[in-house]
Amino acid sequence: MATEGCMSCMKYCMFLFNFIFLIAGLGLSGLGIWLIVDPTLVTSFIPNEDFLQYAGYLLIGLGGFIAIVAFFGCWGAVALSKCMLVMYFLFCLLIFAGLIGGAVMSVLFQDDIKAKLKKEMNATLYTSYGVSKTTTDIWDALQEEVGCCGLSGDEAWLDYQKTAWFARQNGTKVAVPDSCCVEGSDGQILNLAECQKVEATKTDQYIHKKGCFEEGVHKFEAQISQQRWPLFGLAIGTVTILILGMVLSLCLACRSGGKEEKYAM
């Protein structure tokens, strides 16, 4: 009797736990479809429709994967299907290994990751800024958010004079795009003409002089440091949920004896 009660409790926990994730996964996929089909509500504060499409496809893929894994868990718990429960266990194990492996790789190869990121940023700035709308919007958003200009160094704004964007200008050239210029408390650029003058030296008064690579990495690391305890709690919670899911699925699989029940909870 006690064994049956324990079994029933594990089934309920397994089902409810995965049913919540199933709904969440379907919700993410639905949000992704909505972003692709009708992004008008979001374009008011994220004007880049290409970016919204990429985000939409990412949400559809992520939500679909979560829903599939949760479906295996729900069905396995309801029917006590050993096959479904083992598949669920393997999915959870794969996710767990991926998270641990990703964390280890990010620590061991952080310098390589930074070098690769800098190389990619260099390529997009010099060849695609002012040519590709998506690239231009991303760089402008980065420069406005971080307060930087160009790629790397204390005089990184000079990088723009080597770009395709600068070469394509006709008539009187400007040194940097508007997104490099310092804004006042009212959100308006302080002195656009002074900021965009093509000259060898500039002051920090009207232009962001430092490069986006160092400033961006510094700001990212500062944000991670500020949020380290919530992130640590999230990581521990995720690992705990995965381990709990694997333990429950294995226990139910062992108890099922290879026979499926007729949807009895």
Dihedrals phi, psi of 189, to nearest 5 degrees: -65, 130
CA-CA distance, 81 to 74, in Å (whole number)?
A: 10
Please provide the size of the chain in residues: 265
Q: Is the pLDDT of residue 231 over 50?
A: yes
Q: Return the pLDDT at 60.
A: 87
Beta strands in 81-139 (DSSP E): none
Tokens of 63: 């939500």
Q: Return the pLDDT at 227.
A: 78
- CB of 184 within 8 A of CB of 192? no
Model confidence at 265, pLDDT cuts 50, 70, 90, reads very low
In the three-class reduction of DSSP (H, G, I as helix; E, B as strand; rest coil), residue 207 is classed as strand
Q: Return the pLDDT at 50.
A: 64
Q: Return the pLDDT at 264.
A: 45
Q: Calculate ∠ Cα 248-65-117, nearest 5°.
A: 115
Tokens of 262: 């007729």
- CB of 142 within 8 A of CB of 153? no
Where b means 16+ CB within 10 Å and e means fewer, 81-111 reads: bbebbbbbbebbeebbeeeeeeeeeeeeeee
- From 128, 119, 110, 99, select the one nearest 220 (Cα to Cα): 110
Tokens of 98: 């991926």
Q: Which residues pair with 181 in a beta bridge?
A: 207
CA-CA distance, 239 to 246, in Å (whole number)?
A: 11
What average pLDDT does the segment 22-44 reach? 74
What average pLDDT does the segment 100-106 reach? 82
- From 214, 226, 221, select the one nearest 148 (Cα to Cα): 214
CA-CA distance, 88 to 101, in Å (whole number)?
A: 20
**At which residue do the structure tokens 């004079």 appear?**
161
Q: Is the pLDDT of residue 200 over 70?
A: no
Model confidence at 4, pLDDT cuts 50, 70, 90, reads low
Domains of the chain, with CATH numbers? 2-109+229-256 (no CATH), 129-218 (1.10.1450)
- CB of 12 within 8 A of CB of 18? no
